[in-house]
Amino acid sequence: MRIRKAVIPAAGLGTRFLPATKASPKEMLPVVDKPVIQYVMEEAVAAGIEAVLIITGRGKEAIENHFDVSFELEQVLKERGKEAELAIVRDIASMVEVSYTRQREALGLGHAIMCARNWAGGEPFAVFLGDDIVRSATPCIRQMMDVFEQKHATVLGVMDVPREDTRKYGIVAGSPAGERLLAVSDIVEKPKPEDAPSNTAVIGRYILTPAIFEELEKTGRDASGEIQLTNAIRSLLARERVFAYRFAGRRYDTGDRLGFLQATVETALTRPDLKEPFAAYLRRIVGEMG
């Protein structure tokens, strides 16, 4: 079976990025000139995803407006003959079929995924966390879809992180199962470095099978009151195979201040219109202020 659908949980409060996220969704923070969630959506579209469900919450209306037609803006751009800008604005509204549902309570990532149950309609699906950008030659999720098409099982996007960072991620244990591939034997949410089974961390890309919903239903709240996707994947291990794939690419956690700055600087350095003057500026300013 092919992966056609993707879920983007975007209901999180963005507490790591206050005060910017007090009244604006963290997924709408611009990296150079595009909101973070548009990079995520572009990855989905480039991978061949046909339908996207964004899980939103209160205060996230800007996301819906961004992927909608902007009638007034289009009219003004048309009148002023700004064809290039008009095309940019129009293309965003026609990228892919987008649906929305609201997570009414902030009960964690697992609970957000549960909101997609009916929409997924029994198909396996991709999950993109709305604040992780991955820059890669082949879209990260496409690499994982290729694994899914061979294994017909859950695939987690992973990368190795410094030991001291295990407390920020779901951490997997597993054995080699092919190039870049691990057969997962255990997964733990945010372990302390001394308790972590490895330093291989799950980032914001997943391919999940419909069995995850039954496991999520059985998953209780953790100490912080949240239903963790990681814990549901852990119980899934008793009935289905789960793989972890070391994707080729560079991942940015834009919900973190340093990650956001790295995404901004490195994205600017890949843009033909900015690369040269920006690189020259960086070299000079680091000499002066760094």
CB of 71 to ligand G1P, least distance (A): 35
Q: Per CB under 6 A, does 129 bind ligand G1P?
A: yes
| Helix, strand, coil shares, percent, the chain, to 5 | 40, 25, 35
Name the DSSP letter for residue 16.
Answer: G
- Distance of alpha carbon 175 from alpha carbon 150, whole angstroms: 18
Binding mask 176-205 for ligand G1P (x = CB under 6 A): -------------x-----------xxxx-
Q: Per CB under 6 A, does 233 bind ligand G1P?
A: no
Instruction: Point out the residue whose Cβ comes nearest to ligand G1P.
Output: 170
Residue in 17, 67, 128, 169 binding ligand G1P, rule: CB under 6 A: 169
> Left, alpha or beta for 69 (phi > 0: left; psi -120 to 50: alpha)?
beta
Do 243 and 130 meet the contact criterion of CB atoms below 8 Å apart? no
Of 77 and 111, which has the nearer Cβ to ligand G1P? 111
CB of 16 to ligand G1P, least distance (A): 9
CB of 241 to ligand G1P, least distance (A): 19
Helix, coil or strand: residue 125: strand
C-alpha closest to that of 137 among 244, 46, 52: 46
Q: Per CB under 6 A, does 158 bind ligand G1P?
A: no
CB of 230 to ligand G1P, least distance (A): 5
Tokens 């289009």 belong to which residue? 74
Reported residue count of the chain is 290
- Distance of alpha carbon 161 from alpha carbon 133, whole angstroms: 16
Residue in 27, 43, 132, 215 binding ligand G1P, rule: CB under 6 A: 132
Q: What are residue 252's phi and psi, to 5 degrees?
A: -120, 130
Angle at CA of residue 217, ends 213 and 219, nearest 5°? 110
Binding mask 90-119 for ligand G1P (x = CB under 6 A): -------------------x----------
CB of 228 to ligand G1P, least distance (A): 6
Of 13 and 98, which has the nearer Cβ to ligand G1P? 13
Greatest Cα-to-Cα distance within the chain, rounded to the nearest angstrom: 62
Q: Compute how many residues bind ligand G1P; rule: CB under 6 A.
A: 12
Residues in touch with ligand G1P (CB under 6 A): 109, 129, 132, 169-170, 189, 201-204, 228, 230
